[in-house]
C-alpha cells in the first residue's frame, strides 16, 4: 500500500472514530460498534499512528461495556490489547494501555488468578505509577493472602495521597477502607477499628457520594468487628445503624442477626430482616428469608408464613442456606402428614449440608423416608415439633446471653 493510501486509510478510520466519539454516552451500543469498526480497519497495520488509534478505540469499547455491566465482553479485548501492544507501547498510547492492563488485572483478580494480576499490576505501577495501580495491587495481594505486603502497599498509598498538593479525599477514604480490611484479616482487630473510626471521624460529614459510601462501609466494618466480640452488642448495633443511615443496606441483615434472641427486641429483629429481603445481594436476602421462616415457624407457629420464606430461600439462595431451608420444609411437610414431600425435602437438605462439609450422603432415600414417617406420625408429630422448637429457642437464648449478659459486657471491656 502506498504512503497516500496508508494516510487515506488512517483518515477514514479516524472519521469512524470521531463518529463514535460523538455518540459515546448518547448511544453507547452504536458508539461501541463504530469504535470496533475503526479498530478493524487498522488491525493489519504495525505503524505507531495506526496502533495508537486502534488502542484508543478498543479501550473505549472496554469502558462502554463496563458502564453497562457487560464485564464478560471486556476481558478478551483487554487480553488482546495487553498481549499485542503492552510490551511495545507507542508513546502516545502508553497511558491508555496502562488502563487496559489494569482492566485485565481486575478481571484476573476477580477470577482468582491473583499471581497473574499481581505481576501485571506491578508492571503497570513500575512503568506508569499512579494511585489506581497501587490500590489494585494492594487489593490483589490481600485476596492472595499476602497480607504483610498488602498492608505496606496501602499504608504507602495513603501517605502518598496525603502528601499530594491537592489530596484526593475519595482515594484516601477508599485506600483506608482497604487498609482496615487487611488489618482485620491479620487479626489486628483494634488497629482495624482505629482506622475505621478515623474514616468516620474525618469523612463523616462529607456530601460526596463516593466518600459517603466508604464511610458507610467503615461503619459496617466496625459493626461486624464488634458483633464478633463478647459484650459489644450495643456498640455493634449503633455502628450498623450508622452504616444504614449512610446507605450500606447490607447492614440490615447483620443487624437482624445481631438482635436475634435479645429479649424485647423481637420486633426490631424482624423489621431488620424484612428490610434485608429487598437487598440487591439476593443470597443475603435469601439468608434473611430463612431466618424469618424460623421465627414464624418456631416462635409463632405460623407454618404457612414460614413456608413462603423457606421457599424464597430455596429459590434465591445458595449452599447451606438452601440446605437448611429444605430441611425446614421437610419439617413442615412432616407436621402436615405429607411423608413423600417431607422425605424429598429432608434428602435435599441433607445433600446440601453434606456438600458443604465434604460428605456424600449416598443415593439411598430410605433413611429420609423413615425419618419423615417418624416425624409425621400422629403419636410423634407433636413431640418432634416441641423438641425442635425447644432447640431453636434455646440456641437463640444462648447467643443472646453471650452477647449481652452483664458478665459478657464485663468481659468485652477487658478485651
Q: What is the pLDDT of residues 205-250, one digit of tens each?
A: 999 999 999 999 999 999 998 887 767 889 999 999 999 999 999 9
pLDDT tens by residue, 248-304:
999 999 999 999 878 889 999 999 999 999 999 999 999 999 999 999 988 888 989
DSSP 92-131: GGHHHHHHHHHHHHHHHHHTT-HHHHHHHHHHHHHHH--H
Q: Is 301 exposed, middle or buried (0-12, 13-18, 19+ CB in 10 A)?
A: exposed
CB-facing half-sphere around the CA of 390: CA atoms within 13 A: 6
Query: What is the pLDDT, as a whole number, of residue 377?
Result: 45
As a whole number, mean pLDDT of residues 356-380 equals 52
As a whole number, mean pLDDT of residues 375-386 equals 48
Cell of 169: 479525599
**pLDDT category of residue 370 using cuts at 50, 70 and 90:** very low
Q: Is 50 exposed, middle or buried (0-12, 13-18, 19+ CB in 10 A)?
A: buried
Q: Specify the pTM.
A: 0.74
Query: What is the pLDDT, as a whole number, of residue 393?
Result: 57
Q: Is 155 exposed, middle or buried (0-12, 13-18, 19+ CB in 10 A)?
A: middle
Query: What is the pLDDT, as a whole number, of residue 383?
Result: 45
In 3D space, the residue among 213, 126, 227 whose CA is nearest the CA of residue 184 turns out to be 227
pLDDT tens by residue, 22-46:
998 899 999 999 999 999 999 999 9
Residue 400 above 80 pLDDT? no
Residue 411 above 60 pLDDT? no
DSSP 345-363: HHHHHHHHHHHHTT----S
**pLDDT category of residue 345 using cuts at 50, 70 and 90:** confident
To the nearest whole number, what is the mean pLDDT of the chain? 87
Amino acid at each position: 500500500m502506498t504512503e497516500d493510501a496508508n494516510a487515506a486509510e488512517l483518515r477514514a478510520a479516524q472519521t469512524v472514530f470521531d463518529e463514535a466519539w460523538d455518540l459515546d454516552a448518547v448511544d453507547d451500543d452504536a458508539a461501541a460498534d463504530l469504535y470496533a469498526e475503526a479498530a478493524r480497519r487498522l488491525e493489519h497495520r504495525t505503524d505507531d499512528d495506526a496502533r495508537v488509534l486502534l488502542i484508543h478505540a478498543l479501550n473505549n469499547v472496554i469502558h462502554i461495556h463496563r458502564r453497562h455491566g457487560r464485564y464478560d465482553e471486556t476481558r478478551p479485548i483487554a487480553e488482546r490489547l495487553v498481549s499485542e501492544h503492552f510490551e511495545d507501547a507507542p508513546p502516545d498510547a502508553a497511558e491508555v494501555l496502562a488502563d487496559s492492563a489494569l482492566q485485565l488485572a481486575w478481571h484476573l483478580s476477580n477470577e482468582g488468578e491473583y499471581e497473574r494480576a499481581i505481576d501485571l499490576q506491578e508492571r503497570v505501577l513500575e512503568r506508569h505509577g499512579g494511585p489506581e495501580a497501587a490500590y489494585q495491587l494492594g487489593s490483589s495481594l490481600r485476596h492472595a493472602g499476602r497480607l504483610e505486603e498488602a498492608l505496606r502497599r496501602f499504608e504507602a498509598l495513603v501517605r502518598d495521597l496525603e502528601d499530594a498538593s491537592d489530596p484526593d479525599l475519595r482515594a484516601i477514604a477508599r485506600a483506608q477502607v482497604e487498609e482496615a480490611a487487611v488489618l482485620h484479616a491479620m487479626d489486628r482487630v483494634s488497629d482495624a477499628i482505629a482506622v475505621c473510626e478515623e474514616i468516620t471521624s474525618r469523612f463523616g460529614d462529607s456530601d460526596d457520594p463516593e466518600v459517603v459510601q466508604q464511610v458507610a462501609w467503615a461503619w459496617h466494618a466496625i459493626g461486624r468487628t464488634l458483633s464478633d466480640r463478647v459484650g459489644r452488642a450495643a456498640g455493634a448495633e449503633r455502628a450498623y445503624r450508622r452504616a444504614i443511615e449512610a446507605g450500606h443496606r447490607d447492614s440490615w441483615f447483620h443487624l437482624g442477626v445481631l438482635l436475634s434472641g435479645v429479649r424485647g427486641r423481637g420486633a426490631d429483629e424482624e423489621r431488620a430482616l424484612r428490610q434485608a429481603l429487598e437487598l440487591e445481594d439476593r443470597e443475603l436476602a435469601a439468608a434473611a428469608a430463612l431466618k424469618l421462616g424460623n421465627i414464624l415457624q418456631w416462635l409463632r407457629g405460623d407454618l404457612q408464613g414460614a413456608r413462603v420464606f423457606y421457599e424464597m430461600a430455596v429459590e434465591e439462595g445458595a449452599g447451606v442456606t438452601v440446605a437448611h431451608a429444605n430441611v425446614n420444609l421437610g419439617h413442615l411437610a412432616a407436621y402436615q402428614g405429607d411423608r413423600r414431600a417431607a422425605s424429598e425435602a429432608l434428602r435435599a437438605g441433607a445433600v446440601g449440608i453434606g456438600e458443604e462439609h465434604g460428605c456424600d450422603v449416598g443415593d439411598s432415600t430410605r433413611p429420609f423416608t423413615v425419618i419423615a414417617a417418624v416425624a409425621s406420625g400422629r403419636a410423634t408429630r407433636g413431640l418432634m415439633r416441641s423438641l425442635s422448637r425447644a432447640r431453636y429457642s434455646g440456641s437463640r437464648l444462648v447467643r443472646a446471653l453471650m452477647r449481652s449478659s452483664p458478665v459478657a459486657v464485663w468481659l468485652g471491656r477487658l478485651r
